[in-house]
Structure 1
Amino acid sequence: MDLLQIIVLALVQGITEFIPVSSSAHLLLVPVFANWPDQGLAYDVALHVGSLVAVLIYFRKEIGRMIIAWYRSILYREFNEDSKLAWAVILGTIPVGLAGLLFKDWAHTAMRSPLVTAFGLIVFGFALAWAGWRSRGERTEYQMSWKDILYIGGAQALALIPGTSRSGITLTAALLLGLSREAAARFSFLLSIPVIVLAGMVETRELVLAGESVDWSAVALGTLISGVSALFCIHYFLVFIRKIGVQPFVVYRIALGILLLVLFW
């Protein structure tokens, strides 16, 4: 890869990973439109590592409390809102983990096309629009029931469909359940941590088995740019969604989906 491709793809990953527009769709489509060669598995892993580091840094205080409370819930049977949230993240990850094991190859082959991505962007964009329009919820992420958590986790599994957006579908489910917009976004960010870790482990295993050569300078630069841009994105997205809502992202999703239909139908 040349320097421009390294920088652009890292920015695309960092900016789109945590907003409801589908980072996988953008990483698939940007090289197509720019006529760039495939960036390779090692670089994909690097971009995910950058996003992971960003969310860990931003929520470091919450994560620290959750880890301590989670251990105390196991060792001493002490439960509080932080331990419940930690268990919620674990429970909410199970459906997408199972779906990934069962349908990963199918999602990365048969479903990986511009037309499928277009329909994913549009269909789930309208679902997000509906959730954002009717949402009047004020519940926080600490007030979810176990049924709510399984519902959001099950919705997250739909993110295997290109164009769906993991953050978008979890936001949609959380808003429909009555969480506030900011609480829905925060829980979506926390849910991303184990998903990114699991995806990174799978990709790293594939990278080792494939024996690809690694351009470590590109990997380091991509990780840095992806992480810094994701950190800023998380902060400003929380401000944006609290004040404005999700409708601008809906408009973008539908416009991009229509563009893809026009170009590839």
Structure 2
Amino acid sequence: MDLWHIITLAVIQGVTEFLPISSSAHLILPSVLLGWADQGLAFDVAVHVGTLTAVVWYFRRDVIRLAVAWSADTARRRIGADSALAWAIIAATIPAGLAGLVFNDVIEARLRSGLVIAASTIGFGLVLWWSDAVGRQQRGLPALTLRDALIIGVAQALALIPGTSRSGITMTAALFLGFRREAAARFSFLLSIPLIAAAGLLKTLELLERGNGADWFAIGLGTALSFVSAVVCIHFFLRFLERLGLMPYVIYRLLLGALLLVMLW
């Protein structure tokens, strides 16, 4: 991989992992427009490590607080506000994990096409707009129930469809449930931690099984750039979310999906 290849793909992964605009839709563009070859499994692992480290670092106080509360309250067989949120994250992770185990092969074989990604980018972009338009946006994270978590978790499982956007679909579900934009985004980011960790672990195990040689320069630079771009993305997304709303991302998704359709039709 050349330097420009590394920089472009790492930044794309870092930014699109957390914005509601679909990382798979963006990662298809370099190969279609520039004819780039697949970046390889080792690089995929590297950028996953970078984005995982970014979200854990950015929410480190929340992660530590939730982990300590969950451990203490579980040992004492009680549930407090923080441990309840930790349990909600665990519960919301289960549907996507099970769906991945059951449907991953089918999705890889039948849905990894440019047209599916384009259609999903447009379709779920419109659903995101609908949720932002009709959602009551009155609830904060303390109001999150186990039922809410499971509904958001089932929605997250839809992100297995390429072009959906994991952050986009989880925020969409939370908005339909009446949560404020900031609360929906924070829960989506916290919910990404176990899923990105699991995806990175699976890719790492696959990489170890293959035993291919690694380009350590590409891996190191890709990890660093995906980390930095993800931290910057999370910070500014949360800072301007209430001011700008989600319509800019909806419009962007529609334009991106239309572009992909034109290029791939």
TM-score normalized by structure 2?
A: 0.98
Inter-partner Cα distance in structure 1 for 2:67 and 2:201: 21
Letter in 2 for 1:216: W
Greater mean deviation of Cα atoms: 69-78 or 9-18: 69-78
Partner of 2:55: 55
Let me know the Cα RMSD of the aligned residues: 0.9
Partner of 2:199: 199
Quote how far apart the aligned CAs of 1:108 are: 2.0
Partner of 1:190: 190
Letter in 1 for 2:258: I
Letter in 2 for 1:200: G
Q: Residues 1-265 of structure 1 correspond to what in structure 2 (within 5 A)?
A: 1-265=1-265
Q: Percent identity?
A: 55
Inter-partner Cα distance in structure 2 for 1:29 and 1:212: 26
SS at match of 1:109: helix
Greater mean deviation of Cα atoms: 207-216 or 166-175: 207-216
Inter-partner Cα distance in structure 1 for 2:144 and 2:252: 30
Quote how far apart the aligned CAs of 1:154 are: 0.1
Greater mean deviation of Cα atoms: 200-209 or 220-229: 200-209
Inter-partner Cα distance in structure 2 for 1:140 and 1:10: 33
Post-superposition, which runs of at least 4 consecutive aligned residues in structure 1 deviate over 2 A? Answer: 28-32
Quote how far apart the aligned CAs of 1:242 are: 1.5
Quote how far apart the aligned CAs of 1:26 are: 1.2
Inter-partner Cα distance in structure 1 for 2:113 and 2:73: 45
Q: Unpaired runs of 5+ in structure 2?
A: none
Inter-partner Cα distance in structure 1 for 2:168 and 2:109: 22
Deviation by residue 1:45-94 (Cα, 9 ceiling, x = unmatched): 10011000010111000111100000012111232111011111110000
SS at match of 1:125: helix
Inter-partner Cα distance in structure 1 for 2:208 and 2:105: 18
Q: Unpaired runs of 5+ in structure 1?
A: none
Letter in 2 for 1:24: S
Quote how far apart the aligned CAs of 1:107 are: 1.7
Inter-partner Cα distance in structure 2 for 1:40 and 1:78: 46
Q: Do 1:118 and 1:163's aligned partners in 2 also have CA atoms closer than 8 Å?
A: yes
TM-score normalized by structure 1?
A: 0.98
Q: Do 1:29 and 1:114's aligned partners in 2 also have CA atoms closer than 8 Å?
A: no
Q: Do 1:51 and 1:227's aligned partners in 2 also have CA atoms closer than 8 Å?
A: yes
SS at match of 2:198: helix
